[in-house]
Amino acid sequence: MLYDRILLTGAAGLLGTELRKRLAPKVKFLRSTDIAAMSDPAPNEELITADLGDLAVAESLVKDIDAIVHFGGLSKDADFASICRVNIVGFQSLYEAARLAGVKRVVFSSSVHAIGFYDQMHVIGTDVPARPDSNYGVAKAFGENLAQLYWDKHGLETVSVRIGSCEPKPSTRRHLLTWLSFDDMWQLVERSLSVPRVGHTIIYGASDNSATFWDNRLASHIGYRPKDSADAWQSEIHAADPHPGREDIVNRLQGGIFAK
């Protein structure tokens, strides 16, 4: 990897916990932060309990950091005021602090909810305009736009990873399109911190699922080659949920392809 001193936000979450384990052995210094307390730091790891919506903390979080793996923020069940405070205002203050501290790159956990109202009968690339399916998706689209601004205006690079459903294994028909394995998620982060130039790149975070309608060709410079696929669970999932329709129809009828 190109960077030695990493800040990981959202470090106590499901994905953050995976990332802590995998990042620590690869870097000189890892600062892991979350609003929830964490334990058992690696020898090169500093743990900080902090609220990303608290604007006073951003400066201390980014001090002496080369790159940020930003997986923090509120999830899609949060109310809009809270999403605004943490995922929009808190996000901007983190970027501004990062710029002032000379941070070189951010890996941002965007989400497929930023484009969740696209119809999956047509393949979409990473260059389509946002089409959010929720306030949470609007905030992710804001995040991608802010990342673009910080690249264009200040030269701070970002890879915005539109993460699908990153879970230990796929368990629903929807996951046959959206699933991202932990190993493939790690590959996305590792590649994003290793390639020499990313500018602001948007990439879909999904495993090699044959039902996908997301096209990552514009992000091929990241070198992401997913190794896993939800296809291996297809028969099991269809047997457990013998719906007569296709996954896309099922999702559309639920009021948005990423509605659960």
Give me the active site residues, please: 136
Name the token pair of 169.
């294994």
CB of 163 to ligand 15L, least distance (A): 6
Residue 142 to residue 110: CA distance in whole angstroms: 10
- Encoded amino acid at 61, one letter: L
Asked whether position 212 contacts ligand 15L by CB under 6 A, the answer is no
Asked whether position 165 contacts ligand 15L by CB under 6 A, the answer is yes
Give the contact letters, 80-119, x = binds to ligand 15L (CB under 6 A), - = no: -------------------------------x-x------
Q: What is the DSSP letter of 124?
A: B
Residues 20-39 that bind ligand 15L (CB under 6 A): none
Give the contact letters, 168-197, x = binds to ligand 15L (CB under 6 A), - = no: ----------x-------------------
Q: Which alpha helices (DSSP H) does the chain contain, by range?
A: 14-23, 58-62, 80-83, 91-101, 135-154, 175-178, 182-192, 234-240, 247-253
User: Exactly one of 5, 22, 26, 76 binds ligand 15L (CB under 6 A); which one?
Assistant: 76
CB of 44 to ligand 15L, least distance (A): 28
CB of 73 to ligand 15L, least distance (A): 9
Residue 101 to residue 227: CA distance in whole angstroms: 36
Residue 223 to residue 144: CA distance in whole angstroms: 20
Residue 260 to residue 254: CA distance in whole angstroms: 7
Residues binding ligand 15L (CB under 6 A)? 75-76, 111, 113, 163, 165, 178, 258
